[in-house]
Amino acid sequence: MALFFMRKASTAELDVFYPIRPECQVDVPKTRFRLRAGKTLSARRWHAAFSEDGHLDIAKVLRRIQRGGVHPEIKGVVWEFLLGCFDPNSTFDDRNQLRQRRREQYSRLKSECQKMVPVIGSGKFLTTPIITDDGQPIEESANGNISNNGGDANHATLDKKVIQWKLFLHQIGLDVVRTDRSLVFYESQAHQAKLWDILSVYAWVDNDIGYVQGMNDICSPMVILIDNEADAFWCFERAMRRLRENFRCSASSIGVQSQLSTLSQVIKTIDPKLHQHLEDLDGGEYLFAFRMLMVLFRREFSFVDSLYLWEIGFS
């Protein structure tokens, strides 16, 4: 009976941090992760892992995470270390200075984007195109959809990079609307706009890939876990350093091609009958796992379980 109440309590505690919209309760995957006293990294254990000047005993922290994940109240600050935003050997002062420099850098990048598209940073976001494929501005529609011609809309021609970036913006907005719709968190337009702002600024910074659908699933946890927008951006940027090749696609290849090939070889080795069955179903290329690998099972598991899976992988 005591175990039953402990499980109920841990589930209820998770629900407080990541509440599900009532109408979505039956549609979301069941959460398997449970907070476990003595195993889950707690706030007390986390603070105790720092020396007086701020050096982090990362080995001790990782052992705890691998045993029971991270308590929701400290996930954001822990993830900054797991993703490499901060060096465990740095001091409190080192990190405060670095954080301030990064916030200032993000502010400059966002201001640069805002000069081109003033909707950025306004608490709103775009879901309709603002330019044509050849860079011509599209006026605000009669039905009132949000649109903006940008600060340089009157120029006869736009830089190719600017055109491509502006073409991304409404697609990012459409994906934002679809992101983690079961969570109460995203009932707030301000939270959706925060996600859109971060993805829009990242698309401007990443000249090579820009934006690809699925990045919204990677960025969303950072937006939820980290209050400060600039800190969330740099956490996402660090995650993308690991994952950006997943999103590199061309006419001849897809970003996760090598991972699909590896998965095929693993299944062929450990379960030849399953592999042959998939071959017979014309699934031998394992394309069914494309989304799973690209966004790290964000859509296959509950929000809580996917965070736990990421923590194990990051550590």
Residues 61 and 116 in one domain: no
CB-based contact 45:64 (threshold 8 Å): yes
Q: pLDDT tens per residue, the chain (315 residues)?
A: 333 333 444 566 787 899 999 998 888 888 888 898 889 999 999 999 999 999 999 999 999 999 999 999 999 999 999 999 999 999 999 999 999 999 999 999 999 999 999 999 999 999 999 999 988 998 754 344 444 444 444 444 579 999 999 999 999 999 999 999 999 999 999 999 999 999 999 999 998 899 999 999 999 999 999 999 999 999 999 999 988 888 887 656 667 777 888 888 898 899 989 988 888 888 767 888 777 777 888 888 999 999 999 999 988
Cβ neighbours of residue 232 closer than 8 Å, sequence gap 6 or more: 194, 198, 219, 222, 223, 225, 226
pLDDT given for residue 254 in this prediction: 67
CATH number of the domain that residue 163 is part of: 1.10.8.270
Residues 121 and 59 in one domain: no
- The single residue listed with the structure tokens 């039905």 is 143
Among candidate residues 246, 276, 304, the one where a domain is terminated: 246
Q: How far is the C-alpha of 202 from the C-alpha of 243, rounded, in Å?
A: 14
Tally of domains in the chain: 2
Burial letters 171-205, b for 16+ CB under 10 A, else e: bbbebbeebbebbebbeeeebbbbbbbbbbbbbbb
Tell whether 315 is covered by a domain.
Answer: no
Tell whether 254 is covered by a domain.
Answer: no
The residue segments making up the domain with residue 67 are 11-23+30-83
Residues 68 and 106 in one domain: no
pLDDT given for residue 198 in this prediction: 98
pLDDT given for residue 15 in this prediction: 77
Cβ neighbours of residue 184 closer than 8 Å, sequence gap 6 or more: 19, 20, 21
Residues 237 and 104 in one domain: yes
Q: How far is the C-alpha of 269 from the C-alpha of 266, rounded, in Å?
A: 5
Q: How far is the C-alpha of 119 from the C-alpha of 172, rounded, in Å?
A: 13
Residues 126 and 35 in one domain: no
Q: Which two tokens stand for residue 223?
A: 């937006």
pLDDT given for residue 11 in this prediction: 62
Of residues 201, 151, 207, 150, the one with CA closest to residue 172: 201
Residues 42 and 177 in one domain: no
Residues 61 and 160 in one domain: no
- The single residue listed with the structure tokens 């309760």 is 25
pLDDT given for residue 149 in this prediction: 45
Burial letters 207-223, b for 16+ CB under 10 A, else e: eebbbbebbbbbbbbbb
- The single residue listed with the structure tokens 């707690």 is 42
Q: What is the DSSP string of 211-276?
A: --TTHHHHHHHHHHH-SSHHHHHHHHHHHHHHHGGGG---SS--TTHHHHHHHHHHHHHH-HHHHH
Tell whether 220 is covered by a domain.
Answer: yes
CB-based contact 152:162 (threshold 8 Å): yes
HSE-CB at 237 with a 13 A cutoff on CA atoms is 19
3-state secondary structure of 197: helix
pLDDT given for residue 298 in this prediction: 87
Residues 115 and 237 in one domain: yes
Among candidate residues 231, 246, 261, the one where a domain is terminated: 246
Residues 125 and 241 in one domain: yes
Residues 54 and 126 in one domain: no
Residues 120 and 63 in one domain: no
